[in-house]
């Protein structure tokens, strides 16, 4: 499955093709090298800017015979961190550069902090780039990855960078096949493979990652201007949806932003983050967190807004209505029980009561030691399901009756 999302800039700009792996070990690097070899055999000038073989014999066989511009290794905290020799590649000027692991972070002192920024330089120079990224390393999904695998990705790439590619190709693999490859030592050394098989590499986890990759790519394809090639652009004459996420400055903010970004991506909406505070600005204790959350919002293609208001719920709803928002995402304390919802103090209860016409996504918040909130849903009257919406939160249609109805707790598989 692939998404041709071409939206080319001037002809001098390079073409970006990305292999999206549905899980570590799915074979994205091998797909990268196979395409590089095929292009080289047909006369295209191809160089390898970076590739991580991890000592896998099959991967090393595919690399053999391709021109490699040896990347510099920089010592950082006692570990050799490999980058790409950007200057050498630009000077060499190949037609195609193979760049593995788009989410890679460079050592301090490099021209760019991340590999995807180096790829941007190659594209700007007119060099076509073929790259790889795992679904686990998309910024909007990092909290979901932590819940599925128990490990928070240390390196991520902003979703808009991947969506801006000319083509994204999914590298899919059945969970049982991946586990078999892992057990046979085709992915990790024996000790690491055994740990993975007993940990994150469970069939249920792999199935969840696979589903997440399919949903993400389907949403990307649905928003592609090529979807309506030869026909009418269905978006013309229609206002874009807007998803507003309300931030308090608490630790749950990043989880809420990522949840809202996923909802926005699936319905082709704009993402807007808003923090409302009394006149005088946010409290000093939350300024640093809000700055980080603003950066995260903008990295996911959204906009950040600061409101000054004495009545926070009223201000949030006024902002949402002024922006014609169709959905509002906000957090609520997880200890809240719907049986006592009419007495539930604070912003969420008032927004549910007064937010008629806006679909509300209430995400429970129980910050853990690392600041990631589990995404259990508050039980309430559900909004009619929309394609791709169900990523673990319950969807509320704001009405006074919703604030007094009571349903039993629900659970949903991570998506």
pLDDT of residue 180: 95
> Does residue 59 register a pLDDT over 80?
yes
Same fold, 2-225 and 242-403: yes
Give mean pLDDT, residues 355-370: 70
Rounded-to-integer distance, Cα 121 and Cα 98, Å: 14
Label residues 296-320 b or e (16+ Cβ within 10 Å = b): bbebbbbebbeeeeeebbebbbebb
pLDDT of residue 407: 32
Give mean pLDDT, residues 281-306: 91
Q: Tens digit of pLDDT for each residue in 207-216?
A: 999 999 998 8
Beta strands at 128-134 and 16-21: parallel, antiparallel or unpaired: parallel
> Does residue 409 register a pLDDT over 80?
no
Rounded-to-integer distance, Cα 359 and Cα 378, Å: 14
* CATH node for 242-403: 3.40.50.620
Write down the domain spans for the chain.
2-225, 242-403
> Does residue 369 register a pLDDT over 90?
no
Give mean pLDDT, residues 307-324: 89
Cβ atoms of 377 and 336 closer than 8 Å = no
Confidence of residue 261 (pLDDT cuts 50, 70, 90): very high
Give mean pLDDT, residues 79-100: 90
pLDDT of residue 355: 80
Q: What is the pTM of this model?
A: 0.69
Classified by CATH at the fold level, domain 2-225 comes out as Rossmann fold (3.40.50)
Rounded-to-integer distance, Cα 82 and Cα 331, Å: 40
Q: What is the mean pLDDT of the chain?
A: 79
């Amino acid at each position: 499955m692939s998404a041709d999302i071409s939206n080319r800039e001037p002809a001098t700009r390079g073409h970006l093709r990305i292999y999206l792996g549905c899980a570590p070990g799915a074979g994205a690097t091998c797909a990268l090298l196979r395409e590089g070899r095929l292009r080289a055999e047909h006369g295209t000038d191809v160089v390898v800017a970076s590739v991580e073989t991890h000592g896998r014999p099959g991967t090393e066989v595919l690399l053999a015979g391709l021109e490699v511009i040896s990347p510099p290794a920089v010592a950082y905290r006692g570990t050799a961190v490999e980058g790409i020799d950007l200057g050498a590649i630009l000077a060499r000027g190949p037609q195609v550069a193979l760049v593995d692991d788009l989410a890679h972070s460079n050592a301090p002192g490099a021209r760019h902090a991340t590999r995807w920024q180096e790829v941007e330089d190659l594209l700007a120079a007119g060099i076509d780039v073929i790259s790889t990224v795992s679904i686990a390393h998309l910024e909007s999904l990092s909290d979901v990855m932590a819940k599925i695998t128990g490990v928070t990705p240390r390196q991520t790439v902003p979703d808009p960078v991947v969506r801006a590619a000319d083509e994204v190709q999914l590298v899919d693999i059945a969970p049982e096949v991946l586990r078999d490859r892992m057990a046979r030592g085709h992915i990790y050394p024996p000790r690491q493979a055994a740990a993975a098989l007993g940990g994150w590499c469970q069939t249920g986890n792999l199935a969840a990652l696979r589903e997440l990759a399919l949903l993400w790519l389907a949403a990307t394809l649905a928003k592609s201007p090529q979807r309506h090639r030869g026909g009418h652009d269905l978006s013309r004459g229609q206002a874009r949806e807007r998803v507003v996420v309300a931030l308090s400055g608490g630790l749950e903010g990043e989880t809420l932003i990522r949840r809202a970004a996923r909802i926005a991506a699936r319905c082709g909406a704009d993402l807007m983050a808003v923090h409302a505070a009394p006149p005088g600005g946010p409290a000093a204790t939350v300024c640093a967190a809000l700055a980080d959350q603003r950066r995260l919002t903008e990295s996911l293609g959204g906009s950040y807004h600061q409101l000054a208001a004495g009545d926070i719920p009223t201000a949030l709803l006024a902002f949402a209505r002024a922006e014609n928002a169709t959905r509002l995402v906000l957090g609520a304390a997880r200890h809240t029980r719907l049986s006592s919802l009419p007495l539930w103090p604070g912003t969420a209860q008032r927004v549910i009561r007064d937010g008629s016409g806006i679909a509300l996504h209430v995400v429970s918040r129980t910050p853990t030691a690392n600041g990631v909130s589990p995404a259990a849903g508050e039980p309430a009257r559900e909004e009619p399901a929309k394609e791709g919406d169900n990523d673990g939160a319950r969807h509320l249609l704001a009405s006074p009756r919703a604030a007094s109805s009571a349903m039993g707790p629900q659970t949903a598989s991570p998506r």
